[in-house]
Structure formats: structure tokens, C-alpha cells
Amino acid sequence: MRSKKAPKRLLAPDPLYGSRLLARFINKVMSDGRKSIAQNLVYKALENIKEEAKQEPLSIFEKAIQNVAPKMEVRPRRVGGASYQVPVEVRGDRKEALAIRWILSAAKTRGNTQFHTFDKKLAQELIDAANNTGSAIKKRDDIQKTANANRAFSHFRW
């Protein structure tokens, strides 16, 4: 076990837009350490957003992340012999991490024949998330519903 808590490392902002959140998103898209491919995919998606929505793509991206980020989630807590789903507030970094994960999984599972490349699927998912629709928003709402349903166990918080 660690003797100290590991310090948070500051992530360098992405080269094109200068956003740390976008750099974090690119790192999550990356597979097998191929960052340039991940950057190209994300930047193409942002270009598609610019063409389709006729707005600043970075603002739409940030709005999408903000909309998908959950406020509450449930964590299991053992009390006696039973395990309860206790609703807890989601903190800043985890909020962003969950939002990024849900947007990417929604874009990957998006099955439109019209958007057959990942960058187009990702662009469409980001636009949908910015407009409070889409699979990632549905996932957030499901988590919120579960947290609301388990409010009776909120006194088990630790």
C-alpha cells in the first residue's frame, strides 16, 4: 500500500485549441499509444461540428461534457450483512472522467448507417449531448434516477 497519496499531474493542453479538457478527451480516445491518430479523429469530429452546427466547436464540446457530467451517483456500502446503494455527490475530476467515458461509449455504439466513420459518430454524439439528447444523456439520467430512488439510504454516507 502507498505511504503517501500520489500527486496529481498537470496535463499539457492540446496543441490546436489549448484546452486541458480536450487533451484529456484525446488521451481517452487513444488506443495502443497512437496519440496522433486519436488527435486526428477528435479534430475531424470538431471540424464536422463546425460545419454542421455553425458554432464554435470547442464551446459545443465543453457544453456537451458539462451536460453529460452527473451530479449524483450510487456507491455500494456494506452495513451489517447487507449491501446498500448509497447516493453520493460526484466530485470534479470524476465528473469529467465519467462524462468523457459515456460520450465515447455512446459514439462507439452509435449504429447509424449515415455516420459510418468514428469521427462523424463522435461529432453527432457531441452535438446531441450539447442539446441534451442522445445516449450519453440517457446514461446520466439513468444514474440520477438510481440515486434518487436510493435517497432513503443516504444516511449511510461515510
pLDDT digits (tens, 9 = 90+) for 114-134: 668 899 999 999 999 999 999
Q: Which residues contact 119 (CB under 8 A, 6 or more apart)?
A: 41, 42, 44, 45, 48
**Is there a domain that residue 64 lies in?**
yes
Find, among 68, 39, 40, the residue nearest to 127 by Cα: 68
Q: How many domains does the chain have?
A: 1
**Whole-number pLDDT of residue 158:** 63
Res. 113 pLDDT band, cuts 50 70 90: low
Tens of pLDDT, residues 34-67: 999 999 999 999 999 999 988 899 999 999 999 9
CATH number, position 113 = 1.10.455.10
**Is there a domain that residue 14 lies in?**
no
**Is there a domain that residue 1 lies in?**
no
**Is there a domain that residue 8 lies in?**
no
Residue 57 belongs to what domain range?
Answer: 20-156
**Is there a domain that residue 73 lies in?**
yes
**Is there a domain that residue 141 lies in?**
yes
